[in-house]
Amino acid sequence: MPNLKINRNILILHLTVLIWGFTGVLGELITVSALHLVWYRVVIAATSLLLYYLVRKKPLQIPKQYLLQYLGVGVIVGMHWVMFFHAIKVSTVSVTLVTLSSVTLFTAILEPLINRKRISIADVIVGLFIIFGIYLIFKFEFQYFWGIIFGLSCAFCASIFSILNARMVKKGSASTITLYEMIGAWIGVSLVMLFTGDFDEQMILSQSDLYYLLLLGIVCTAIAYVLGVAVMRELSAFTVALTTNMEPVYGIILALLVFGQQEAMSTGFYFGAVIVLAAVFVYPYLKTKIKI
């Protein structure tokens, strides 16, 4: 029976990662700007999580010294999503998802610096392969220059908040942290929109945008998060890392199915993408084998 439970959790994790991969497709389908899209997403996600807490009668209180930390990391999460969806809008889902995979490279560099640890040989090896793969993507898909830049910036932000979350989750509830991060993301995006004058008529949603945003905020953010956290507690870190690396693969396949020729890239792009994704997949294995 334990094996049956593990297999069920792996299937649920794959479903969760598939849902995360679908966010790129939704980003392309939703017609409002990346800034407006993220504003609606965090409002819907925060509301959904808040309702979840009220239904489950879970406490919302947190120590005051952690409030600013959670909200601050939430601002970084918000900027990460804005750059992610903007990258999709100025390039393609495939380009954005592959460049987002460079989060492994940024984490390999930033985590030792932030946590004052030595960079491992595994990090250096994987980092060099990812850099080479991204170089090929730049070379063969230079018309998507800004999409690649925003995708890399998005990965940089993802690396920072992942490292900070790993610290914070040791002292607090993961779901509570996420709820306050959604609030922090809403505050950050709202301030940007306030200063740029983006609280305007362009925020008005079409019926299709509303449906897609509800799907994005409730299913792809709130529900996927609850599912992901639940199974991650039952599976090994290696299994989780290997499975979550499927997100760009699932996302690219879904984008090809939905958008067809629009997502078709050059042979050079796919060669670079294979190098990046192979490096990301091999990374958990190398970390377990190379201890220095």
pLDDT digits (tens, 9 = 90+) for 206-242: 999 999 999 999 999 888 877 776 776 677 666 776 7
- So what's the pLDDT on residue 226? 73
Q: What is the pLDDT of residue 233?
A: 65
Q: Specify the pLDDT at position 261.
A: 81
What is the pTM (predicted TM-score) of this model? 0.89
Mean per-residue pLDDT for 101-130?
A: 82
H helical segments located in 101-223: 103-115, 121-140, 145-168, 174-196, 207-214
Higher pLDDT among residues 111 and 85, named by residue: 85
- What is the rounded (10 degree) CA torsion for 277, 74, 43, 49? 80
Query: What is the structure's pLDDT at 152?
Result: 94
Q: Which pair of tokens denotes residue 279?
A: 């490096």
Per DSSP, 221 falls in state I
C-alpha distances in angstroms, 166 versus 172, 221, 242? 11, 19, 18
Residue, of 290 and 261, whose pLDDT is higher: 261
**Would you give the distance in Å from CA 282 to the centre of its chain?**
20
134 pLDDT exceeds 80? yes
Whole-number Å distance between alpha carbons of 49 and 102: 29
- Which sign does the torsion angle of CA 58, 60, 65, 67 carry? positive
The rounded distance, in Å, linking the Cα atoms of 72 and 193 is 17
Contact 35, 192 (CB under 8 A): yes
Q: Which pLDDT value is given to residue 84? A: 95
What confidence tier does 158 reach under pLDDT thresholds 50, 70, 90?
A: confident
CB-based contact 155:106 (threshold 8 Å): yes
Q: What percent of the chain has pLDDT over 70?
A: 94
Residue 290 pLDDT:
64
Task: Give the range among 43-52, 105-114, 281-290 with minimum mean pLDDT.
Answer: 281-290
Confidence band of 2 (pLDDT split at 50, 70, 90) = low
Q: Cα dist. 214→21, 67, 204, 274 in Å?
A: 16, 27, 15, 33
Q: Are the CB atoms for 193 and 199 separated by under 8 Å?
A: yes
Q: Provide the 3-class DSSP secondary structure of residue 84.
A: helix
Cβ burial 216-245 (10 Å sphere, 16+ → b, else e): bbbbbbbbbbebbeebbebbeeebbbbbbb
- Give mean pLDDT, residues 194-199: 90
Residue type, 90: V
Mean pLDDT rounded to a whole number for the chain: 86
| pLDDT band for position 37 (cuts 50, 70, 90) | very high
Total domain count, the chain: 1
| pLDDT of residue 6 exceeding 70 | no
The 10s digit of each residue's pLDDT in 163-172 is 888 778 777 7
Mean pLDDT of 129-134: 89
Structure tokens at 282: 């091999």
* Residues in CB range of 56: below 8 A, 6 or more apart: none
Q: Which domain holds residue 231?
A: 2-289
The counts of H helices and E strands in the chain are: 13, 0
**21/266 Cα distance (integer angstroms):** 21
